[in-house]
A and B are shown apart, each in its own frame.
Chain A
Amino acid sequence: MTELTKKSLTEITKLIKKKEIKSEELTESFIKNIEKDKRLNSFITKCSESALVKAKNFDKKPEFKNLLPGIPIAVKDLFCTSGVKTTAGSKMLENFIPNYESTITNNLWKEGAFLLGKLNCDEYAMGSSNETSYFGNVMNPIAENTVPGGSSGGSASALAADLTPVTIGTDTGGSIRQPASFTGTVGLKPTYGLCSRWGIVAFASSLDQAGPMTKSVEDCALMLEVMAGFDEKDSTSISKKKENYSKNLSDKVKGLKIGIPKEYRVEGMPKEIDKLWENGKKLLQESGAEIIDISLPNTKYALPTYYIVAPAEASSNLARYDGVKYGFRSNRGNNLLEMYENTRSEGFGDEVKRRILIGTYVLSSGYYDAYYLKAQKVRYLIKNDFDQAFKKVDALLTPSTPSSAFKIGEKKDDPISMYLNDIFTVPVNLAGIPAISIPAGTDSNNYPLGLQLIGKPLDEQKILNIAYAAEKKINFKLTLKKWWEK
């Protein structure tokens, strides 16, 4: 029998429901793995004791009707968890204990799951390599000293190393899909408004979305089903009927039109990624889908637009950290103003400061029209590109990232080269549409590479189905050497 912790959520749930395993046994297996997390550094807070209590409680009085019966789940440390420290990867919130639960985590607990721990991430989710976390960088289980991607880097690393059966992340410009691609896992960014943002530490409110990170497309569908839903507390939550993504999952893609955007073939992209993309086209064609070349002419402007919109919103959202009501406070300063300035200087890391300053500048008097308003206009054009494309096709197929996982420190000193990592993921956030990354192959180092499927607003089912069909044909397998346990 395959180790319990290697199994998919779907398999584990079946075993629990058939009473073949107990939640306690399952939870203990994950805790055993988590104890060896030191070198990966994927956890900021471990909740082993409370998880075991909850597992035992479940076993005493099991409720098998729920979708996540007795399943322990570790989540990104950006989701507020009542009574459990929530840091957002920042010194600013190092000792912050929320007295409320985010809607998304609450949705998981309502279906029978419980908290296994809080996972490392880039500070305030600002980063593409998990190197900006105040709690140290995370390593990718695929190889020592390799980044797991970011910002949901701890989530991706813990999932790939079998420290949690599934996890949840947030995606503002690629923070779920890029780490999923780097670690050989599945990650989905839902349509803006499908999953509630209430109780998630805010980065850029018009772009942030929570989504599932899993070992299979089937698990992803199940998790999305649990997470999605209208929430009165989020003013941008979409009111619609619940969908049964897992029940309706199908690998029938015959007759579907898949668009290939020519602008995603960027200069300097490794041949291996081109090959991966070609292979993806071929196998979907073999499954009966029709491949159509399309154009998204404003693609190259997505990143510059993002680096105006996201910092602008961040500078406004992060204005709340003033050292008064919660969070870190500097003990230097002779008056209120100096206390504010020192608190924010000592409490925020370099990348966060950089983005707050960019945001403050583009919103400042005299520059607003030239930068922020301009970016909002280009954002319209980018969204319009997708609207036009979706008149001709059902979904788009692209690579998830322009490279595989890189070494720690490799891009740290050059913000632009770090930002370029998100070149294929950022347009989706600007347009508010859903996209999924699935593992599709490896490069010459045997590092995973992902393919991305992009869908129309609220068309998650269709991209899940296409991903499901592709996953079956690709049959991706990655054997990890478990170097971090030594």
Chain B
Amino acid sequence: MSIDKDKIKHISQLARISLDSKKTDALAKDLSSIFKFIEQLNEINTDKTEPLSSILNEPLRSREDVVNDGKIREKILKNSPQKNEEFFIVPKVIE
């Protein structure tokens, strides 16, 4: 399937990535060829095949819901691009 510019615009909005028109053109071309390659899978009949979502034989483990770290607010905030005492700062969302 060929991927046109409108589709790229739509997906990039879903993925929260802004693109200029030059990038959109280039990506439409790249993704079209990649999807053509991917669509080889349509050659195989998988009507009776179960999807494989995990290659592990055992189910995923769960653990008790207990706090095993904590008191690391300072450390966590240290890597934030913009902070104010104990908060992360983002552009204003309420007028």
Chain A interface residues (CB < 8 Å from chain B): 96-97, 99, 192-193, 206, 232, 235-236, 238, 298, 300-301, 303-305, 307-308, 315, 319, 322-329, 333-342, 344-345, 348, 353-354, 356-358, 360-361, 364, 371, 373-381, 383, 415-416, 419, 431-432
Contacts and interface: CB of A to CB of B under 8 A. Distances in A.
A116 B17 CA distance: 36
A298 B52 CA distance: 15
A206 B81 contact: no
B81 A300 contact: no
B12 A206 contact: no
Given A354-B31, A371-B38, A378-B46, A333 B76 contact: no
A366 B32 CA distance: 18
Interface residues of B, number: 52
B38 A307 contact: yes
A374 B18 contact: no
Contacts of A301: 40-41, 44
Given A301-B40, A315-B15, A380-B51, A416 B91 contact: no
A380 B31 CA distance: 25
Contacts of A305: 41
20 contacts: A99-B79, A206-B54, A236-B60, A298-B44, A301-B40, A301-B44, A307-B34, A315-B15, A338-B18, A339-B91, A353-B23, A356-B15, A357-B15, A358-B34, A358-B35, A374-B46, A376-B52, A377-B46, A381-B49, A431-B55
Contacts of B61: 235
A310 to B, nearest CB: 11
B76 A99 contact: yes
A375 B52 CA distance: 9
Q: Which of B30, B39, B80, B93 has the most CB of A within 10 A?
A: B30
The 4 closest A-B pairs by CB, nearest first: A432-B55, A376-B51, A326-B79, A329-B81
A329 B15 CA distance: 16
A380 B41 CA distance: 13
Nearest to A337: B16
Nearest to B42: A374
A353 B52 contact: no
Q: Is the interface of B mostly helix, strand, loop or mixed?
A: loop
A434 B49 CA distance: 24
Nearest to A431: B55
A432 B31 contact: no
Nearest to B74: A99
Contact of B63 (A193, A232, A303, A381): A232
Contact of B17 (A304, A339, A353, A416): A353
Contacts of B67: none
Contact of A383 (B15, B19, B55, B93): B55
Contacts of B91: 333-336, 338-339
B52 A380 contact: yes
A263 to B, nearest CB: 14
Nearest to A321: B16
A193 B49 CA distance: 25
A328 B40 CA distance: 38
Nearest to A232: B63
A361 B55 CA distance: 24
B46 A356 contact: no
